[in-house]
Each structure stands twice: as C-alpha cells, then as structure tokens.
Structure 1
Amino acid sequence: MLVLARFALIVTSDSVYNGIKKDEITPIVEKMLKEYNQELVFKTIIKNNKEDLINALNNSLNISDIILVTGGTGISPKDISIDVVKSIAQKELPGFGEIHRMKSFNDVGYRVVLSRASAFIINKNLVAVSPGNPSAVKISLEILISIANHAVEQLSGKPHDK
C-alpha cells in the first residue's frame, strides 16, 4: 500500500510563465497524484532561470517529500534545471534517468540520449528533474509514485526492510 507522500511541482517554462503556451503539465500531475492517493502540496510555474528555480526549491523543500521539476533537461543553453538542482544536491540517483530514457525510447527514439533527466537528494527530499513534455512527465510520475513509499521511509531514516 502506498503512503501519502507530499509532492511539489515546479514547472519551468518561459512560454508557459509568459502565457504564450498553455500549462499542460499541472493538470496531468494533479490527476495522476489524485488517482494514486498522493498529495500535491505545492505547485508553481517559473521562468527558466537559476534564481527562480532556487527560490521555488527553497519554498517547497520543507513542505514536501518529493519534488518534480519539469523542463530544463535538454542540451540547449536555456536548459539549466539539471545543472541548478545538481549544484545543490547531496546525492544523485542516476537510475531515475536511466529508467526514464529506457521508457521514453519507443516514443522519441534515439533523441532520448539528448535528455539529462535525473533525480537527486536535497536534504530529506527526492527531487526529480523531468523533460517538460506531457508524456515524459507521465513517465516521471509513474516512476516516482512507484518508489514514493520506500523513498519517503528511507529519507526519514527508517531502516531497510529485510
């Protein structure tokens, strides 16, 4: 049985922030978390810049267990989310990105190698950085929801099950 994990969502997108493009991510996240009895305690849309991302992370760290950052995982100069999160993380969880790319291959083919999706530990939070398209966000949430219970227990200091 899944425990109720407290999720935060940080959507990084200049075009969504400026109202040029519709936010497709938040409704997907809200729906999936509700289906799996998980709680969304924080959500925000920010521009693609270091200062806004650091502020959003600081605002969500103490009130959530798992933070999903969407956007900024590619190789363009504006794709900085991975770099910002990695710079303040204590640990990296490369398995998240490996599984994410594996599950994404059928949709995007070899372009998947251009994704830097990954997950990190900041304080006692699991922070995943996902590509900002709807199908990638769904994959990210499938992974995060499936590991939420174990991750929250481990990050709170509970011993491993034998």
Structure 2
Amino acid sequence: MSVHDHQKHARTNLKVGVITASDSRSPETDESGKLIRTLLEAAGHLVAYYEIIPDDGERISAALVNNLPNLDAIIVNGGTGITARDGTTEVVKSVIDKELEGFGELFRMLSFQEIGSAAMMSGAVAGVRHGKFVAAIPGSPDACRLAMEKLLIPELGHIAYLLSL
C-alpha cells in the first residue's frame, strides 16, 4: 500500500497534549504553546492536556508517562538546545520505545533552509511510546510553526493510523 493510500486512512480528531518546557514562560507569555494549540485545533484535533513545566527532566518525564496513556500524542516544545538546562531531547529519548530518526533529520533540514547552520544545535526528536506518538521541538515560535506546519500537522493523523494497526 502506498503512502497516499495510508494517508486516506489518517485519523482525525486526535486527543493531543502540549507541554511547554520552560523556566520562564507563563500561560500569558507562552506564545509557542498557544501557537501549537491553535494549529492543532485548526486541524481538527482536540488539545486535551496542556502544561508548562520547568526545565526539569524528572517532571517532564513524569508528565509524559502519566498523560500519554489518555492521549494519542504529546508535543513538547522547549529544552531541545545545547545549554546545560536543555534536557527535553534526552528525556523524550529515555521514555520512547522507538525513535523516528527522520523527524529530527527533516526538522533540521527545513530549519537549515530558514536559519542556516545554527540548525545543527536543535535536538528535535520524535518517537513512539506504547503505541502513542511523542515529539520534542524547539521552543521558539518560528521553530514551532515550522515543525507544526511542515511535519506534524500533515502527518499526525497518518502516524496515529499506523500506530493503531
């Protein structure tokens, strides 16, 4: 079956969680979290969970593990860089069963086209945990828009369908 045939079976109305990993954002200043939620809802999905969590690996891990069973996917934004406080990439890798290497590769390629060589510092990652999709993307609004519009919104329903087989 071709990818186009599979996409005909893409699931709609997914229940998705959004986590903003940040020490400095609040619900009022979380521009990236709001953007992700808006784009998901515009695509017909339900944002069933949203939380801002400090850059703390144990808290991010617990939020993923505890909330994912009730959702189809979780998207984490923030904490994917190279500073000492950035640990989201490592947390996501520690909780997933299977990494989708192509996600990070494609995100960095698309990002390179927009921002140049600084794209190499992105730790964007995605994978599967117990049949549910998890992605971690940078926290800047431009990076979130890129990941959502070019990768996640077009494929979330297809991914959920494949994970249900």
TM-score, length basis structure 2: 0.87
Amino acid of the residue matched to residue 38 of structure 2?
K
Amino acid of the residue matched to residue 162 of structure 2?
Q
Aligned partner of 1:112 in structure 2 is 119
Aligned partner of 1:38 in structure 2 is 45
Map 1:8-157 onto structure 2 (within 5 A): 8-17=17-26, 22-142=29-149, 143-157=151-165
Distance, in Å, in 2 between the alignment partners of 1:9 and 1:34 is: 12
Partner SS for 1:16: coil
Amino acid of the residue matched to residue 160 of structure 2?
V
Cα contact 2:75–2:135 (8 A) shared by 1: yes
**Shift of residue 106, structure 1, vs aligned partner:** 3.0
**Shift of residue 105, structure 1, vs aligned partner:** 1.6
Distance, in Å, in 2 between the alignment partners of 1:149 and 1:88 is: 22
Amino acid of the residue matched to residue 158 of structure 2?
H
Aligned partner of 2:15 in structure 1 is 6
Amino acid of the residue matched to residue 83 of structure 2?
S
Aligned partner of 1:160 in structure 2 is none
Partner SS for 1:100: helix
Distance, in Å, in 1 between the alignment partners of 2:60 and 2:41 is: 25
**Runs (5+) with no aligned partner, structure 1:** 158-162
Root mean square deviation, CA, Å: 1.6
Partner SS for 1:9: strand
Distance, in Å, in 1 between the alignment partners of 2:47 and 2:134 is: 14
Distance, in Å, in 1 between the alignment partners of 2:69 and 2:31 is: 26
Q: Which moved more, 1:38-47 or 1:53-62?
A: 53-62
Amino acid of the residue matched to residue 154 of structure 1?
L
Partner SS for 1:4: coil
Partner SS for 2:50: strand
Runs of 4+ in 1 over 2 A off after TM superposition: none
1:80-127 per-position Cα deviation (integer Å, ceiling 9, x unaligned): 111011112111001111111121123321000111111011111110
1:25-52 per-position Cα deviation (integer Å, ceiling 9, x unaligned): 1221222112211111100000001121
Distance, in Å, in 2 between the alignment partners of 1:89 and 1:30 is: 23
TM-score, length basis structure 1: 0.89
